[in-house]
Amino acid sequence: MKLTYRGVDYDHNPPMLEVSESDILCNYRGRQHRYTYVRHVPFPQPKAELTYRGVAYQTDRHGQRQVAAQTETKSVFSAFQRKLAELTPLMDERRQLLREAARSHSDSIHRSLEHRIAVARAQGNMNLLQQLEDELRQMA
């Protein structure tokens, strides 16, 4: 198809798609119409060896599933132990960070209570002073 855009001529050849007619027949504005679908052109899938919930399988070039022969049986417990051994140093570091954060938080609350107790003493508010001292004892 020859086209011209702003004085520039060029040939446009749109790609031709293979279509197939469906069995669906309908009416549109009084005329019968049959839907057409683009024919699916399969492309080769990569061959892959996969595992789902402990069951090994593989896919072929057509994307079809094939059950793979199990070469060795692995126990779930040994796999869990291996994974846990890999994660233990990370878990220890995280526990240490959480302990430090909790200690810092409780120190902050303790300082805040001591400040509030000092203010209550300065104001002479014995009722508030008693409540704050009870709260301080509960923290310890």
Q: Enter the pTM of the model.
A: 0.38
Sorting pLDDT into bands at 50, 70 and 90, what band is 140?
Answer: confident
Higher pLDDT, 56 or 71: 56
Predicted pLDDT of residue 70: 54
pLDDT of residue 11: 84
The C-alpha atoms of residue 6 and residue 99 are separated, in whole angstroms, by 72
Contact in structure between 47 and 59 (CB atoms under 8 Å) = yes
pLDDT at 121: 94
66-74 CB contacts, 8 Å cutoff, 24+ apart: none
pLDDT of residue 86: 80
CA dihedral sign of residues 129, 131, 133, 139: negative
The DSSP output letter for 54 is T
Pairing outcome for strands 48-52 and 2-5: unpaired
